[in-house]
Structure 1
Amino acid sequence: MKSILITGCNRGLGLGLIKCLVKDTNSPKIIIATCRNKNKAQELTSIAETNKNVHILELDVTKTDSFECFAGEVSKIVDENGLNVLFNNAGYSPKSTRISAVKAEQMMETYAVNTVGPLMLTKALLPLLKKAADANQDQPLGSSRCAVINMTSMLGSMSMNDVGGLYPYRCSKAAINMATKSLSIDLKSDGILATCVHPGWVKTDMGGSNAPMDVETSVTGMVRLVKDLSEVHNGQFYQWDGKKLEW
């Protein structure tokens, strides 16, 4: 892949993905990392200072009215080559668990970050994604041509839900799964692949200290999966190590 844009890179999995990509022997020529506030993303800024292929742009995925302007900034970076890969990583999960504790504003806020933001950002960047797909028509469906990857969770799987609870997070991730499935159908004729990726239960601020997996293991697997994407992955649900999951 020539270019990749990843949202939510100030910490956690987003920052881990950037670290993994810059160390890769075949690192993308352009890596665009977003964060809400550059001044609070010191480690990301340090990476950009020592890796000229890393570009930092500010983005709040809940402020959809800023997406058109943001797409213009991305266009200046990728130029006529377009954007090969969009990785919608930014996510949010409130602490509420059971039906007795869930609040309407938690549902709405989580849906805005985990579902509405990724979908509307994909829409805003679609001209650049199509440009990349057209520029790489000799490549098969996948990240070498053009791909949209939405970070999801096995907690958004209906068939794997056997404990209940976590209403905001579960519902928002089930929704982004459905959005991804529709994108995979709507964009296939344009040469754009769309798929969902579950990163595993990882030691991050969201995953908590009890999580069994470290960030490096998760992101290394996800980068490998992104590189290996092909038509069989289109509209499907995978975890970090390439295992296919059930909806």
Structure 2
Amino acid sequence: MYVKSLLITGANRGIGLEFVKQFLKLPQSPQWVFAACRNPEKATDLKTLGETYPNLRIKQLEVTDRESIKDLVTSVTSDLGEEGLTLLINNAGCLKRLQLNDVTQEEMLESFQINSVAPLCISQAFVPVLKKSSLQSPGDGGYGYRAAIVNISTLTASITDNVTGGNYDSRTSKAALNMISKSLSVDLKPGRILVSILDPGWVKTELGGAGAKMEVSDSVARMIKVIQGLTMDKTGTFLNYDGKTLPW
């Protein structure tokens, strides 16, 4: 499915930045790539890309701030004009790796705010813009949907797969994101909006750490291939970067 426009959160580094780079370099790149981050003035890599790609727009977003989300919707809608948004990628997140002795109420709540509540609120705010795209699209190319939300999760959110314990912040908040995504998939299906949950794998980023096995470019390339091949029968499913279904 051709992605005419997309918004990526947490786009100033790591996986988010790589998504921006690779979507911009596609043979049929989106007409609009909105890269959202907390401090656009410090996003030097995005600014450099903006000098080459006129279809890139850098936007300010504090994912836990309601007014910031509203301002982002207003700004993106203004740029799109009469067009809708084709794809929203909720990538922004945090990872503290809290073990049992490290857990505090404050840090757990912060993780839920960033990893669970924020993607829900951002998705909620952009539903009208996604629906607009869905209604305007002349067809779905046989994919069964016309707009999509992709939420970046992690295999450590799998209850079935948890045999090592720990990581209370990431495991629980991302498991909550998975349930949120499933509910969104049910609620948005009548509007032909697909919702997918993707695990990028253990990637060599600031959050992934030095021991990670996969280059960020490889992970994102594989996820884009999965996104491009999604069909409506996959809405609400938890998928690996290579498209394999993961256990809840």
Q: TM-score by structure 2 length?
A: 0.96
Please state how far the C-alpha of 1:137 moved relative to its aligned partner.
5.0
Stretch moving more, 50-59 or 141-150: 141-150
Give distance in 1, aligned partners of 2:231 and 2:83: 20
Pick one of 33, 42, 57 that aligns with 1:40. 42
> Is 1:141–1:231's contact at 8 Å kept on the other side of the alignment?
no
Render the CA deviation track for 1:113-142: whole Å, top value 9, x for unaligned: 111110000111111010001111521585
Give distance in 2, aligned partners of 1:144 and 1:221: 21
Q: Percent identity?
A: 40
Give distance in 1, aligned partners of 2:109 and 2:143: 33
Stretch moving more, 40-49 or 131-140: 131-140
Render the CA deviation track for 1:207-227: whole Å, top value 9, x for unaligned: 001100010000000111111
1:80 aligns with 2:82: yes
1:231 aligns with 2:232: yes
Give distance in 2, aligned partners of 1:229 and 1:48: 29
Superposition RMSD in Å: 1.3
> Is 1:84–1:147's contact at 8 Å kept on the other side of the alignment?
yes
Query: Structure 2: which amino acid aligns with 1:94?
Result: K
Q: Superposition pairs for residues 211-230 of structure 1, below 5 Å?
A: 211-230=212-231
Residues 106 and 142 of structure 1: CA distance in aligned 2, closer, same or farther (over 3 Å):
farther
Provide the residue aligned with 1:187 in structure 2. 188
Residues 143 and 71 of structure 1: CA distance in aligned 2, closer, same or farther (over 3 Å):
farther
Query: Structure 2: which amino acid aligns with 1:147?
Result: A
Provide the residue aligned with 2:57 in structure 1. 55
Please state how far the C-alpha of 1:72 moved relative to its aligned partner.
0.7
Please state how far the C-alpha of 1:143 moved relative to its aligned partner.
9.3
Query: Structure 1: which amino acid aligns with 2:110?
Result: E
1:133 aligns with 2:129: no
1:17 aligns with 2:49: no
The SS at the match of 1:158 is coil
Please state how far the C-alpha of 1:76 moved relative to its aligned partner.
0.9
The SS at the match of 2:7 is strand
List gaps (5 residues or longer) in structure 1: none
Give distance in 2, aligned partners of 1:191 and 1:210: 40
The SS at the match of 1:238 is strand
Residues 232 and 104 of structure 1: CA distance in aligned 2, closer, same or farther (over 3 Å):
same
Provide the residue aligned with 1:156 in structure 2. 157
Give distance in 1, aligned partners of 2:172 and 2:123: 20
The SS at the match of 1:81 is coil
Render the CA deviation track for 1:22-75: whole Å, top value 9, x for unaligned: 111111111100111112110111101210111110101011232222211010
The SS at the match of 2:190 is helix
List gaps (5 residues or longer) in structure 2: none
> Is 1:143–1:226's contact at 8 Å kept on the other side of the alignment?
no
Give distance in 2, aligned partners of 1:178 and 1:133: 24
The SS at the match of 1:31 is strand
> Is 1:143–1:227's contact at 8 Å kept on the other side of the alignment?
no
> Is 1:5–1:86's contact at 8 Å kept on the other side of the alignment?
yes
Give distance in 2, aligned partners of 1:8 and 1:137: 31
The SS at the match of 1:57 is strand
Give distance in 1, aligned partners of 2:53 and 2:105: 43
> Is 2:145–2:232's contact at 8 Å kept on the other side of the alignment?
no
Pick one of 69, 72, 75 that aligns with 1:67. 69
Give distance in 2, aligned partners of 1:159 and 1:78: 42
Equivalenced residues, count: 246
Residues 239 and 40 of structure 1: CA distance in aligned 2, closer, same or farther (over 3 Å):
same
